């Protein structure tokens, strides 16, 4: 197993890793060799953050259009072929070699430690290890390195989840937060004493547990009212191959500065002030197969500098406020689908999707489609949302089965709540 520097590295050490990474990419990645040549970039002259910003941004489209040009190792070295989830279009292929799998292992090992998981704990993974999903395997590998016990149940199947909880008594779950609501429902319907189960904490994925002000999101509040377990927020993506994880203080997701160099940029590409929202741009460090430099995640969030009271010196990031491309403009008001989701969570409504279209003038038209089984009337929902979001949304009722089909496409690894049908 490869050795990695601990996450508690100095800025100077991180800068060394960044420089190594730039050199590696220049020597091995056809895509970056080309970028560096075209832009006449001399790596040895990059000495600080300002110099670093001379390197062009890499966009998702670059990965889509030039996928194999990003490969920096011999193709026969590739072990794991995965894809991104395809939230913003066609999934992109990603490849990992043995060293990348070791890095991924180390990354989750450190992440689970931040959430307080130890060798003596048993953890049930309720997300899939299938469907070309990087994170599922990352959890498994990290927990194995930690020496913790693992139960691979996979996604869905509340009955199997509870059977596994009762058989193996896990202390932690890895889960999508809204799936916890399904687990609670199932437990209630089947007289399972979920409040006294072995489960004490959940490493969460895919949905935000923090709101913009680093307070509990409506979803976290709702779950915690029903089931008093500790919920840990995480943030990650296939492209980053790195996870950001909440510590026990729940004040943002800790960055692993030995594995990723982060920038938060405004519309013009300049760094925003500490605590301001901007787009996260990442340079994942020590990646061999598909190194990325200044990859624009599209995720809007803020960085929190300074020591955390948990004792870690690494900066943290806040909740994803929205995806840059998903920004909605409704009669002059800008907002992200996440804002609508947060408001719907506060109303305790889960059975809905959000559709964005262009109206005849090319403006954004947003329709909230809710299940006919939702108890509040469309008008009531409209009024409550207007109070909270200052906008009036069009609301349509659709059948529960039509909603299910739109929200859970058969081959997707996660529910699709926001459907963006706008032309680009």
Residue ranges binding a copy of itself (CB under 8 A): 76-83, 93, 98, 101, 119-120, 122, 125, 128-133, 136-137, 140, 143-144, 147-155, 157, 159-160, 163-164, 167-168, 410-411
Cβ of residue 2: shortest distance to a copy of itself, in angstroms?
14
Sign, CA torsion 191/196/198/201: positive
Partners of residue 243 on adjacent β-strands: 236
| C-beta separation of 404 from 398 below 8 A | no
The rounded distance, in Å, linking the Cα atoms of 237 and 243 is 7
What phi and psi values does residue 256 have, to the nearest 5 degrees? Answer: -100, 90
Q: Return the number of the residue (190 or 274) whose C-beta is nearest a copy of itself.
A: 190
State in angstroms the smallest separation of the CB of 259 from a copy of itself.
21
Both structure tokens of 57: 């941004």
Query: With respect to a copy of itself, which residue has the nearer C-beta, 164 or 258?
Result: 164
Alpha-carbon distance 325 to 299, whole Å? 9
Distance of alpha carbon 144 from the chain centroid:
22
Q: Which is nearer to a copy of itself, 130 or 273 (CB)?
A: 130
Q: Provide the minimum distance between the beta carbon of 422 and a copy of itself in the complex, in angstroms, as a whole number.
A: 25
Which DSSP state fits 269? S
CB 234 within 8 A of CB 247: no
Query: C-beta of 80: minimal distance to a copy of itself in Å?
Result: 6
CB of 75 to a copy of itself, least distance (A): 8
Closest approach of a copy of itself to the CB of residue 248, in Å: 22
The residue length of the chain stands at 424
- Find the shortest distance in angstroms from Cβ 72 to a copy of itself: 16
Q: What is the CA radius of gyration of the chain?
A: 22
If the CB atoms of residues 236 and 293 are measured against a copy of itself, the closer one turns out to be 236
Of 126 and 233, nearer to a copy of itself (C-beta) is 126
Q: Which of 161, 177, 156, 172 is nearest to 123 (CA)?
A: 172
C-beta of 144 vs 324, nearer to a copy of itself: 144
Helix 158-168 crosses helix 177-189 at what angle (to 10 degrees)? 80
- Compute the least distance from the CB of residue 381 to a copy of itself, in Å: 32
**Residue 357, exposed/middle/buried by CB under 10 A (0-12, 13-18, 19+)?**
middle
Of 155 and 350, CB closest to a copy of itself: 155
- Beta carbons of 290 and 72 less than 8 angstroms apart: yes
Q: What values do phi and psi take at 395, rounded to 5?
A: -125, 135
Nearer to a copy of itself, 128 or 217 (CB): 128
């Amino acid at each position: 197993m490869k050795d990695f520097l601990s996450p508690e590295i100095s800025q100077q050490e991180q800068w060394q890793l960044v420089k190594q990474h730039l050199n590696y990419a220049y020597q091995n990645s056809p895509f970056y060799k080309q970028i560096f040549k075209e832009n006449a970039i001399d790596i040895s002259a990059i000495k600080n953050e300002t110099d670093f910003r001379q390197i062009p941004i890499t966009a998702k489209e670059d990965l889509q259009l030039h996928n194999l040009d990003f490969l920096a190792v011999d193709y026969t070295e590739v072990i794991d072929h995965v894809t991104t989830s395809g939230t913003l279009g066609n999934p992109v292929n990603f490849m990992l070699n043995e060293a990348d799998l070791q890095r991924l292992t180390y990354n989750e090992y450190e992440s689970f430690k931040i959430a307080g998981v130890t060798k003596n704990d048993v953890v049930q993974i309720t997300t899939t290890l299938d469907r070309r999903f990087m994170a599922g395997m990352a959890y498994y590998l990290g927990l194995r390195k930690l020496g913790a016990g693992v139960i691979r149940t996979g996604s869905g199947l509340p009955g199997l989840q509870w059977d596994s909880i009762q058989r193996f008594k896990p202390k932690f779950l890895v889960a999508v937060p809204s799936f916890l609501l399904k687990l609670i429902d199932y437990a209630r319907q089947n007289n399972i004493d979920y409040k006294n189960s072995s489960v004490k904490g959940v490493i969460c994925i895919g949905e935000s547990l923090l709101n913009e002000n680093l307070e509990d999101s409506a979803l976290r509040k709702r779950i915690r009212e029903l089931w008093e377990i500790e919920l840990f927020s995480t943030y990650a993506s296939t492209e980053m191959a790195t996870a950001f994880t909440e510590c026990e203080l729940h004040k943002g997701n800790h960055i692993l500065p030995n594995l990723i160099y982060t920038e938060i940029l405004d519309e013009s590409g300049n760094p925003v002030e500490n605590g301001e929202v901007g787009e996260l741009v990442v340079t994942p460090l020590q990646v061999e197969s598909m190194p990325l430099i200044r990859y624009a995640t599209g995720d809007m969030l803020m960085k929190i500098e300074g020591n955390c009271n948990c004792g870690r010196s690494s900066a943290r990031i806040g909740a994803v406020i929205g995806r840059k491309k998903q920004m909605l403009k409704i009669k002059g008001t800008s907002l992200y689908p996440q804002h609508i989701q947060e408001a719907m969570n506060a109303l305790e409504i889960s059975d809905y999707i959000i559709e964005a279209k262009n109206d005849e003038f090319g403006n954004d038209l947003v329709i909230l489609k809710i299940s006919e089984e939702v108890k509040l009337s469309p008008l009531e929902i409209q009024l409550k949302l207007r109070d909270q979001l200052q906008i009036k949304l069009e609301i349509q009722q659709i059948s529960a089965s039509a909603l299910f089909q739109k929200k859970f496409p058969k081959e997707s690894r996660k529910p699709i709540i926001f459907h963006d049908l706008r032309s680009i």
